[in-house]
Amino acid sequence: MKAAIDRAQKYIDEHAPKVREASMRQRYHFMGPCGWINDPNGLIYYKGQYHLFYQFNPYSAFWSQMYWGHAVSEDMLHWKQLPPALAPSESYDAHPQGGCFSGSAIEKDGRLYLVYTGAANLGKGLEQTQNIAVSSDGIHFEKYEGNPVVTAPEGVAIDSFRDPKVWEHNGRYYFVCAAQREGRAQALLYRSDDLLHWEFFNVLLESRGEWGYMWECPDFFQLGDKWVFLCSPMGAGERTTVYFVGDFDYGTGKFTYTSTGEVDWGLDLYAPQTFLDHQGRRLMFGWANEWEWMRYWKDWGPTFREGWCGSFSLPREISLGEDDMLIFSPIAELNQLRETPTLVNSMKIDPGRARSVKAGDGVAFELSFSLDLEASESSSVLLSLRKGAGRELTCIFDLEHAEVRIDRNNADGWGKGVSSSPLSLRGEPLLDVRVYSDQSSVELFVGNGTNVHSMNVFAPSTQNGIEIAARDGIAIVQDVRGYGMKSIPAA
């Protein structure tokens, strides 16, 4: 593996400088040094640093044979890229259309263990197996000689058995992974005493078809007195990343859920992974892209011309809200990036007379306000972002139909689609809205983080207007706060 990592690192050193100068690169969201990235993997706080691994093809800005990229950080804002942690090198993970697929990390006796999927042809076609790699310094990993540690059980499709998420409980180890049996999605639960020898425990949860045919990147964790299962379902239409909240029994290995929801309603959030940090926070990063609509358009966006593709969502903290709904909040550390604040206490917007709003340079910014639902009379309120040269990304707060939508059909001459989510207004007097915009993305948090939409926008920096408009009556917005967001130098 060392030779493959050294070769990749040489290529990265040669190509990262060009990507550092790229005009569409994100200014404060996580990106790889060059090439293609997808899922976040192996998130962990280990020996005083946050470690972020990711699905990585250093050699081109398209998906191909997968490596694990690796970066570390003290604050989840400034990242230092390290050499790839895993490279395809063995019979079980070295296929050109396979490699080291998604997985997770855990610390045991001071050492860092990665549990990942190897995708290769072992004689029966493309096959996915679960494997282990270990490191003592958190930088250099060795693959376990007993790999693969788990192969697909009888009846599970060998090319649909992947993405182990590992955790420890009372000195025992568990992982949940995605599987497909007879065309249906299952989350399989395994257990082990030493992280090396695993036994099948139970089907944690399964779909009867209503939740698609495969659950990529499952995640499972305790939150308060509840348990949460997250996954990215394939074949579930516009549902791209969902959660289930319920109860889990270590005696049977069964999860039963009582509520479900969407992790993100936008078009660009997939395969999120969570971890518990040293402050006890349940944190999540997601891949700011999505397979299905991208495939439909047969195009991954214009950034490939600059030698890169893919970035991550902002880290979000997950907490449990009313009725067992999940709340996703941008991490508090992000406030350190704020600069050039502007504050307007209250704005009255007359129908047909949009008002412009100031937040940084209109490209990399944070903007928040409260929509006064009692005083506003308009049936909908429109927030235009990245406006200029006849284009804009439009956020629509449709109060008549209790819906939030983001329309990007006219945002950048490339992306298409409208995302929408129902709004639970429940007689609240105010609707809180928070936007994080970066060079090539917008993340909208509405209703205290219960309604999140992530969307990519590949627009030039000159498209930087921000406006609020009311459709057919006045709208009142309060506490309008805008900040520029500091750029983070690529490392």
Q: 39 catalytic, yes or no?
A: yes
| Residue 39 sits in the site that holds ligand FRU (CB under 6 A) | yes
| Residue 163 sits in the site that holds ligand FRU (CB under 6 A) | yes
Q: What's the CA gap between 267 and 400, in Å, rounded?
A: 23
Kindly state the smallest distance separating residue 31's Cβ from ligand FRU, in Å.
17
Q: What's the CA gap between 332 and 48, in Å, rounded?
A: 19
What's the longest Cα–Cα distance across the chain?
A: 69
Q: Computed over its alpha carbons, how large is the radius of gyration of the chain?
A: 22
Q: Which is nearer to ligand FRU, 177 or 326 (CB)?
A: 177
| Residue 66 sits in the site that holds ligand FRU (CB under 6 A) | yes
Kindly state the smallest distance separating residue 66's Cβ from ligand FRU, in Å.
5
Kindly state the smallest distance separating residue 412's Cβ from ligand FRU, in Å.
23
Kindly state the smallest distance separating residue 267's Cβ from ligand FRU, in Å.
15
Give the residue, chosen from 55, 81, 273, 437, that forms a contact with ligand FRU under the rule CB under 6 A. 55
Q: Which is nearer to ligand FRU, 286 or 482 (CB)?
A: 286
* Residues in region 444-483 near ligand FRU by CB under 6 A: none
Kindly state the smallest distance separating residue 162's Cβ from ligand FRU, in Å.
5
Total of chain residues touching ligand FRU, rule CB under 6 A: 13
Q: Which is nearer to ligand FRU, 101 or 328 (CB)?
A: 101
Q: Which of 39, 219, 372, 407 is catalytic?
A: 39
**Phi-psi category of residue 299: left, alpha or beta, with phi > 0 → left and psi -120 to 50 → alpha:** beta
Q: What's the CA gap between 471 and 309, in Å, rounded?
A: 37
Q: What's the CA gap between 480 and 123, in Å, rounded?
A: 61
What per-residue string of b and e applies to 57-69 under the rule 16 or more CB within 10 Å gives b? bbbebebebbbbb
Kindly state the smallest distance separating residue 76's Cβ from ligand FRU, in Å.
21
Residues 168-197 vs ligand FRU: string with x where CB under 6 A? ------------------------------
Residues 115-144 vs ligand FRU: string with x where CB under 6 A? --x---------------------------
Give the residue, chosen from 106, 204, 263, 271, that forms a contact with ligand FRU under the rule CB under 6 A. 271
Q: Which is nearer to ligand FRU, 267 or 271 (CB)?
A: 271
Measured from the Cβ of residue 200, the count of other Cβ atoms closer than 10 Å reads: 12
Q: What is the dihedral of CA 378, 384, 388, 391, to 10 degrees?
A: -90
| Residue 216 sits in the site that holds ligand FRU (CB under 6 A) | yes
Residues in the site for ligand FRU, rule: CB under 6 A? 38-39, 55, 66, 101-102, 117, 162-163, 216-217, 270-271
Residues marked active site are found at 39
